[in-house]
Structure 1
Amino acid sequence: MIRHIVLVRFRPDVSPEAIAAIFADLHAIEGKVPGLLSIASGRSESPEKIERGYLHGFTVDFADWAALEAYQVHPDHRRVGAALVAHAEGGLDGILVFDLPIA
């Protein structure tokens, strides 16, 4: 399994409603990409408080690398990705992506 981890620093002027709409659009991709197992999203609730401004994020679990690749080129993913970049602080600089193979 591959866990796709995305952390976002949204601009201060982006409303909670706008963030919720982006995440709802993300969740709408479930069931559209073979091998996409699950999506979880939300705001950090870490008691450590060391998010460094990356207060929102999501994970997407994939069966394998091929499923992640299919997701990356899917038009719905590209649309959500463009919305994330448009609303992130500094555009792409406000987004971190980490892909972790899970045994």
Structure 2
Amino acid sequence: MFPSFETGNEITREEVSEWKTGSRGQESAPVVRGFYSYRDPEGNPVAVSYKADENGFVAEGTHLPTPHPLPTAIVASLARNAADEARLSEEERALINTGKYVVY
């Protein structure tokens, strides 16, 4: 565990480190969770929480950019593709996985 602190200019930090327990009870990977905050040049508060583990570093904060939502037509197309693929036989799936597409 790392110490929490706050500076005179309103910067704060908290961080905890632990070992993630594997499926059989053994320690498998370190996990770090934390939080920091400060004021931006305009005086607005900025807060970031984060987690770092075997999957990488993931930060969350209202000031961080987020991806635009997918258009409805794309979401519908992906759902149709998944439904079509679910109806395929194992043989058809194997053929598609080779890159040899069959046009009906």
Q: Structure 2 length as normaliser, TM-score?
A: 0.26
Higher helix share: 1
Q: Structure 1 length as normaliser, TM-score?
A: 0.26
- Which protein has the larger Cα radius of gyration, Structure 1 or Structure 2? 2
